Amino acid sequence: MGCSRLNELVFFKKAGQIKNKLAISLVVAMLIAAISPIVFADADPITVTFNPTGTVAIDVYNETATFGSVVFSSANNWPTEGSQDDTSYTVYNNGTIGADVYIFSNTTTDSDQMTLDIDGNDIPVDGYSLDIVGSNAKQITNVNDTWIDNLAASDTVTFGINLDLGAGSQDWTSQTTRINITATVNS
């Protein structure tokens, strides 16, 4: 009985030594694998290509602003379209992604007889000023300026338009200009 117990103790001692050596070998192998580059023989890559799509489609309703007879040196003239407040016009984003909306006008009327005043202060002789009225109020200039940041897809903004007129050098014929509204993908 003593011999069998001795053999058992020797066996467990050697098994413990083997277990320790295996654990150390395993840790060393894991460290070597972690710092060594992995090389795959004959690897074939997969090239992934996709084209994310989204559209920006800006529409405006009413598309005209008729002011009729406007007296020189007058301010806050409303067009005859709509309710003559900040809800007469609507810009829609009928696209599928958010849009940054820009606005500008021509430097002069089509006849070149009157000039757009870009700051709305001290409008010069034969000058006029256009203002967007409402929650996104803006002085319209002749530069494509940001008007609405990130108009969400399917969202709308209502606004009004005011015309201010400077003094006149003569009684001009009917004047026409454009307000241009453009949009780009929100960045």
9: in domain: no
Domain span at residue 106 reads: 58-185
12: in domain: no
CATH number of the CATH domain containing 132: 2.60.40
Q: In what order do the strands lie in the sheet with 99-105?
A: 145-151, 99-105, 179-185
148: in domain: yes
pTM tops 0.85, yes or no: no
Q: What is the mean pLDDT of residues 101-108?
A: 94
2 vs 47, higher pLDDT: 47
25: in domain: no
- Joined together, the tokens standing for residue 48 give 């992934």
Angstrom distance (rounded) from CA 116 to CA 107: 5
Does residue 40 register a pLDDT over 80?
no
Angstrom distance (rounded) from CA 180 to CA 140: 10
Q: What is the pLDDT of residues 129-185, one digit of tens each?
A: 999 999 999 999 999 999 999 999 999 999 999 999 999 999 888 999 999 999 999
- Joined together, the tokens standing for residue 83 give 């309710």
176: in domain: yes
Does residue 1 register a pLDDT over 60?
no
Q: What is the pLDDT of residues 58-86, one digit of tens each?
A: 999 989 999 989 999 998 899 988 778 88
34: in domain: no
Angstrom distance (rounded) from CA 65 to CA 60: 12
175 vs 18, higher pLDDT: 175
CA-closest candidate to residue 133, choices 74, 63, 186, 75: 75
* H/E run at residue 150: strand 145-151
49: in domain: no
135: in domain: yes
Instruction: Please state the domain count of the chain.
Output: 1
Question: Which pLDDT belongs to residue 179?
Answer: 94
Angstrom distance (rounded) from CA 62 to CA 81: 8
